Structure 1
Amino acid sequence: MAQAREVEVKFRRDLGLLDITMIGLGPTIGTTIFLLVGPGFAITGPSLILAFGLNFVVTMFTAMAYMELGSAFPETGGGYLWIRRSMRDPWGFLGGWMSWFGHCIVASFYIYGFGLGIVVALKALLNVPSLALVGFDESALTKLFAVVAAGLFIALNYRGTKLTGRSETAVTIVLVAVVVTFIIAGLLHLANTGLPPQNFQPFFRGNTAGAQFLSLLGAMGFTFIVFEGYEIIAQTGEEARNPEKNIPRAHFLVIGFSTLIFVLVATTRSRRSRRGSCRTASRLSCSAWPSEPWRP
């Protein structure tokens, strides 16, 4: 009998520093900044700014491990590969499945936010309180747009690495442009009107130190998902050019730039409103969380 030969698959290194940075930055900004800033502000108030800063400190410990391991093992697989090589079975198997399960949950959250964003944008453009098209109500339209968007990005990934990198760069540039426009408009408004101290009073939610600490901790946990994107950078190791240098650089760029954006958005969005009110959130946040589950 002929002995089966082992086939080793190699990927082309088509992704530069800009590509892998955008691949990490896109999911990091994603829809989280549009969906979670409002609820986060409702949970802890203006101290959401502090919550983002503390989340940055916490996530840097994990990020530094990803930088070191991603540059030492520049291969496809990321965290799954490291577990498989360093631990015995079945931990590598379980780690891989848990990683993909987490990715599925996060991808579902992102793509749902994308569909919801289209619905909210159409309602604003048409100036209607509710939206119904060809027999689909808002809930069905949100799911329909989400499925169409998911199919589009799956097709782009299937076409190859280079096209995926370019499409991710284009989408991320649009996202960043929208967020930066919001930040600039907010800062210009603050420059003209000043920054009233009462906008940051009270800085924490709660009447006691314990309640304030719990509100801050709750906001940190609720918004921590915003830093999920940098984990994807390590998975591009086998497709990245000069991964020993570019992977750590991309991690620093993604985490630093995204934290700056989140803090600035939280700062420009801070304003006085009643506790737990959806008026503290954007229209998109209110549509995503109509029942305000964070309210005590």
Structure 2
Amino acid sequence: MRVSEHGRPLRTEGPGAVLTRRKPVERLIAEGGQGEGGSLRRTLGLWQLTMISIGATLGTGIFVVLGEAVPKAGPAVILSFVLAGLTALFSALSYAELAGAIPVAGSSYSYAYATMGEFVAWVCGWCLVLEYGVSVAAVAVGWGQYVNELLDGIFGFTLPAAISAPPGQGGWFNLPALVVVLLALVFLLGGARESARANTIMVSVKIIALLLFCAIGFQGFRSGNYADFLPYGVTGVSAAGATLFFSYIGFDAASTAGEEAKNAQRDLPRAIMLSLVIVTGLYVLVAIVAVGARPWRAFSGSEATLSGIMKDVTGQDIWAVLLAAGAVVAIASVVLTVLYGQTRVVFAMSRDGLVPPIFSRVHPRSGTPRANTVIVSLFCGVLAAAVPLGNLADATSIGTLFAFALVNVAVVVLRRTQPAMKRTFRVPLSPLLPALGFGFCVWLMGSLSTVTWVVFGIWMVLGLAVYFGYGVRHSRLARTPGGEK
């Protein structure tokens, strides 16, 4: 008879049962906050949770990816934002219901574990590692672009391309991208409450910066820039929407804080929905002004698009400098909050035994998974310094869309398997809206390039190797009673 390292007999299960074993919701909640050697601390209220979601979302699409999306759709990029936002809304409704019912750190990974089994949960978690980890790296690359804008405006020089651009874009190593990830690491090591305070300040700065752009950019608004509204038809809108979905990544970040929220079941659904409404409104407003102030064919794909528009409209460097300063702060908050989400997802996977236990080891003084934070941050920092932005953005989108599709399925499954469970928020018109959310995710995934799918396939193969080589043998469900089949 096989036994665990603690002397307890291991459960013998067939291959199918192993892959479909589920972790009961009650057990997920009971284990909430507990890690190796300590527990996470509940210090976050509704305001902090909302700021975490806004901080993780607002800035990535507008400050970084807008310049890449406009050439794909033309002025209709506004519709692309709406399409991406609608897709995010359907998924946000599902996230809100599940976050209120299962307030734990693993986000959609944990929801899948409770509804569809360990194998699907692993696939979802692996997609989240891609979503959050690569998102941090991609946004950090954009941060380096705005650092150069700021240095140029204030001091009249920029960092040499060799140390400020990744390979393939004229550089050897993107030092600014690595620096911003390391700065986020320092804040995260201080604890969730301290990180939330810093994030709130940075979110306020980024909102002010975007409103300033709208006020200045509207002075250069030309209705003629919208004359050829759909140059590439619905196909262009869909392609740009798939890329811009990258800009909505992060609204689910509050769900990763389920074990550090004071009143998770009440506040998590509210934070998710409130953050998405605020972010979508600002995105559409900024996109309208940006396209009105600059002909869409003049969008060159530069990551520092908005500051360039400010300079074109005013003819003065000061406004572009102010916006670049706001973007430096804004994008730093995205790195901070998305990196936070990444560490909490890996924390949950480690607690379940699917990745090594070092990732769920909690420091007794700060109440944070320190080793996890350091390892994940260094990985993301090196990735940011070595990979071009465009490839990163689309790879992030496909991982996110896959995870979101699974969340829409999970909410329907949980409704059927546990209809009497207490829910602080319920998706209206279920299963219709979750089905629409699933369909939109699949549609946008189909709009991504073949190269992106190849990268995603390689990532999935690597994930399966890790799961079958490590996760299956170390899963806590295989070692302790209480799992469901």
TM value normalised by structure 1: 0.82
Counterpart-to-counterpart distance in 2, 1:142 and 1:270: 33
> Shift in Å at residue 201 of structure 1?
0.6
Report which structure shows greater RCO (CA 8 Å, sep ≥6).
1
Report what 2:226 is aligned to: 200
* One-letter identity of the residue aligned with 1:105: V
* One-letter identity of the residue aligned with 1:153: A
- Is the Cα contact below 8 Å between 1:198 and 1:272 reproduced in 2? no
Does residue 113 in structure 1 map to residue 112 in structure 2? no
* One-letter identity of the residue aligned with 1:30: G
- Is the Cα contact below 8 Å between 1:112 and 1:142 reproduced in 2? no
Counterpart-to-counterpart distance in 2, 1:146 and 1:108: 7
**Residue aligned with 2:95, SS:** helix
* One-letter identity of the residue aligned with 1:254: S
Counterpart-to-counterpart distance in 2, 1:284 and 1:199: 16
Find 1:42's aligned residue among 66, 71, 74: 71
Counterpart-to-counterpart distance in 1, 2:240 and 2:48: 31
Report what 1:252 is aligned to: 273
Does residue 20 in structure 1 map to residue 58 in structure 2? no
Counterpart-to-counterpart distance in 2, 1:148 and 1:275: 33
> Shift in Å at residue 79 of structure 1?
0.9
Report what 2:250 is aligned to: 229
Specify every segment of 5 or more residues in structure 2 that has no aligned partner in the other structure, as ranges.
1-5, 8-30, 166-170, 309-387, 391-485
Report what 2:160 is aligned to: 132
Once the two structures are superposed, residues 259-292 of structure 1 have per-residue CA deviations (whole angstroms, 9 ceiling, x without a partner) of 1111111111124866643358674489977xxx
> Shift in Å at residue 241 of structure 1?
2.2
Counterpart-to-counterpart distance in 1, 2:116 and 2:228: 49
Report what 1:71 is aligned to: 100
Task: State the identity as a percent.
Answer: 25
Find 2:215's aligned residue among 184, 193, 200: 184
**Given the superposition, is the C-alpha separation of residues 56 and 123 from structure 1 closer, same or farther in structure 2, using an over 3 Å criterion?**
same
Find 1:56's aligned residue among 78, 85, 88: 85
Once the two structures are superposed, residues 205-226 of structure 1 have per-residue CA deviations (whole angstroms, 9 ceiling, x without a partner) of 13xxxxx111111111111111
Counterpart-to-counterpart distance in 2, 1:118 and 1:34: 12
**Residue aligned with 1:247, SS:** helix
Report what 1:292 is aligned to: none
**What number of residue pairs does the alignment pair up?**
274
Once the two structures are superposed, residues 39-62 of structure 1 have per-residue CA deviations (whole angstroms, 9 ceiling, x without a partner) of 222221221112212222221111
Counterpart-to-counterpart distance in 1, 2:172 and 2:282: 30
Counterpart-to-counterpart distance in 2, 1:149 and 1:199: 36
Report what 1:155 is aligned to: 186
- Is the Cα contact below 8 Å between 1:31 and 1:110 reproduced in 2? yes
> Shift in Å at residue 235 of structure 1?
0.8
**Given the superposition, is the C-alpha separation of residues 278 and 53 from structure 1 closer, same or farther in structure 2, using an over 3 Å criterion?**
closer
Find 1:143's aligned residue among 155, 174, 188: 174
**Residue aligned with 1:270, SS:** helix
Report what 2:201 is aligned to: 170
Once the two structures are superposed, residues 122-176 of structure 1 have per-residue CA deviations (whole angstroms, 9 ceiling, x without a partner) of 1232334x5439xx55426972111111111112112211111111112222222
Counterpart-to-counterpart distance in 2, 1:91 and 1:161: 29
* One-letter identity of the residue aligned with 2:199: E
**Residue aligned with 1:238, SS:** coil
Find 1:94's aligned residue among 106, 110, 123: 123
* One-letter identity of the residue aligned with 1:247: L
Counterpart-to-counterpart distance in 1, 2:293 and 2:208: 27
**Given the superposition, is the C-alpha separation of residues 267 and 8 from structure 1 closer, same or farther in structure 2, using an over 3 Å criterion?**
closer
Report what 2:111 is aligned to: 82
**Residue aligned with 1:90, SS:** helix
> Shift in Å at residue 30 of structure 1?
3.1
* One-letter identity of the residue aligned with 1:179: L
